[in-house]
Amino acid sequence: MSVEPAIQSTFSLTVPEGAAEAAVLTNDARQFLIALANRFEGRRQEILEARRQRLAQLHAGATLDFLPETAPIRNADWKVAPIPDDLQDRRVEITGPVDRKMIINALNSGANVFMADFEDSNSPTWDNNIQGQINLYDANARTITFTSPEGKTYKLNDKVATLLVRPRGWHLVEKHVLIDGAPISASLFDFGLYFFHNVRVLLDRGSAPYFYLPKMEGHREARLWNDVFVFAQEALGVPQGTIRATVLIETIPAAFEMDEILYELRDHSAGLNCGRWDYIFSFIKKFSHRPDWVLPDRAQVTMEKHFLASYVKLLIQTCHRRGIHAMGGMAAQIPIKSDPEANNRAIAKVQADKLREVLAGHDGTWVAHPGLIATAKAVFDEHMPTANQINVPRPPVDVTAADLLKLPEGEITQAGLEMNIDVGLQYLEAWLKGNGCVPIYNLMEDAATAEISRAQLWQWAHHGARMSDGRQLSVDAVIATIPKVLDNLRARIGDEAYQASQFPLAARLFEEMTRADTFPEFLTLAAYEHID
């Protein structure tokens, strides 16, 4: 390893050092993290400041549009680097957190790809994060096993899915690791440790470190990631272009810079993904100040809405023009074994969603549960007989800024209000206890669901949204609904379980964020203060 000298830089932990820390945070790994922090923390702060400045401009009346200064990139003919063999066919990808049993089951699931997630489906407790690094190393080394409390043993099959890893976004820190007394970027921590410990074993297996990159808002943030990749590869003496990364287009500003994001990452790109739940959250958040920007019930904001359909068309056209994958979104349904009729309805929804995606031109899709892999795969197999659709000719589309910003119509209902509180509280309560991937009402939910839920509560409350029955919402009216939902949850789980739960804290956080005069940017930032 050849990294910049870390003279006078200190590395310290805010937690006791045990066997797990000793295994992951070796001296060389610490020096690598220090080098990443020294080189890139200043630029991370610059992009966060740029986000704040753009938000201030939106609040002052600006809007979003395609960047005139990058028109030459959008208009030029160029391609990203050729696709590695084990990323050619990505028709079904399964996602989930980095716990040991999940990793084994997902790699064995029959999916083409498993995205191991340090981000939205992972509650970022120190134990989850450090054990996750150990679990992923063992998975790549093919030594991972797990024995359940009942004595059942889990191990890897001979053939497993290709592994991708999603680090946390640029806005987050890892509070348990201090570089010169300041928390390290969570992105650099998650990426740095995985790359450092796994690059050699992956190359020996004919693969490489592959990533999903979340929450980016534009091409300058992609440039920062690309520079991190270049530095990391040089430091560890591996060829440039070894790393490949798929970018989730899950913020509305990023939708206007898809070409530019691919261009910045062109030597390391593995395409773009429609991160649709976070995209809806961002659509609310970036224009939260506008009283004319109120969305209907979350259940009514479907992919057929014009702004979402336009975003899909633009993403597919952009990726295929550049010779790379355009990945579809998540099917969050889970099998309903207790109710065959309800299960059939859920499967039909998944089939319809995947049919929409493959006919639109997506090269693959996401599922949240192994029980949905066969359903999704059957749809893609029927309509995509080749490894991907990158070279399938399609009529050009012309997506404008107005298309991407068209507000969806629909109603706001009492049921929608209560569902946002109910699902948001259930998810946040589990997250506070260390579980970031939560089955709720036969859907596998992650942090994006809680973010959309509380974003709508704030928007409806602060802009006096009119409900379908004629009532006008207010901050007090929304807050007054929280105890009602909380009482229903308490009755459902019982007093003893409620007393041992984190529901009171979850409710307090929801209330505080709903009352806030300005829209709180991320729920997970506030909640992170309350986990170890």
Distance CA 211, CA 118 (A): 11
Relative to beta strand 326-331, strand 364-367 is parallel
**Could you tell me which residues come within 8 angstroms of residue 166 by beta carbon, excluding any fewer than 6 positions away?**
95, 115, 116, 117, 118, 119, 211, 212, 213, 214
Distance CA 217, CA 253 (A): 5
Beta-bridge partner residues of 182: 179
Known catalytic membership, residue 403 = no
Beta-bridge partner residues of 212: 246
**Could you tell me which residues come within 8 angstroms of residue 365 by beta carbon, excluding any fewer than 6 positions away?**
91, 92, 93, 327, 328, 329, 331, 354, 357, 358, 376, 380
Catalytic residue, candidates 89, 322, 446, 454: 446
Distance CA 59, CA 78 (A): 36
Distances (CA, A) of 131 to 115, 325, 444: 16, 31, 22
Which H or E element spans position 499?
helix 495-499
Catalytic residue, candidates 166, 244, 276, 454: 166
Distance CA 81, CA 266 (A): 6
Residue owning tokens 């003279």: 7
DSSP-derived secondary structure for 192-241 = HHHHHHHHHHHHHTT---EEEE-S--SHHHHHHHHHHHHHHHHHTT--TT
Known catalytic membership, residue 30 = no
Q: From 177, 199, 197, 202, select the one nearest 187 (Cα to Cα).
A: 177
Q: What is the token pair recorded at 323?
A: 């010779």
Distance CA 271, CA 57 (A): 30
Is residue 482 within 8 A of residue 454, CB to CB? The reply is: no
> Could you count the other beta carbons within 10 Å of the beta carbon of residue 7?
6
Q: What is the DSSP-derived secondary structure letter of residue 363?
A: S
Active site residues: 166, 446
